[in-house]
Structure 1
Amino acid sequence: MSRGPAGTRIQVPDELREVLLEFTISYLLEQPGDVIAYAADYFVRLREARTTSIIYDVAGAAETISPDESTISREEGT
């Protein structure tokens, strides 16, 4: 935790700490010449990986539900 303007405390979210730590480790291992270009590429790849993961999770969930179960679930919800 650190202090902001007028001594107010600023809480850094755990997810932000984790993402920045992973980025920092990757940067230190790769040691690229341009930190900004590397960061831009790193975060684009991270976003794409998360999007792909979400798509596969949704597709996997859709495959595990039979059409009959899907119809029943919709009818119960109404």
Structure 2
Amino acid sequence: MIDSAGMVQMAALGLGGLAVLGSAALIAAALTQISRAIHLRQAARAGWVLAVVCAPVFGAVAWFAVGNRIDADQS
């Protein structure tokens, strides 16, 4: 039988695993969208990829918050 401390540890492990999977999905989705964004010039695309690779979660969130909405005239 599992005691309460063991249940807490199992719950924490499960939540940590979900956080890792969610982060990986977010990063993969951001990189996919960056690679398919027709409004980005090559230098801007490289910058966004570098941002997502160097600061994975922050870079992906920044892409969805800002980068995905940049007009073609600004890129």
TM category (shorter chain) comes to 0.3 to 0.5
Structure ID, larger Rg:
1
More strand by percentage = 1
Under a length normalisation based on structure 1, what TM-score does the superposition of the two structures give?
0.46
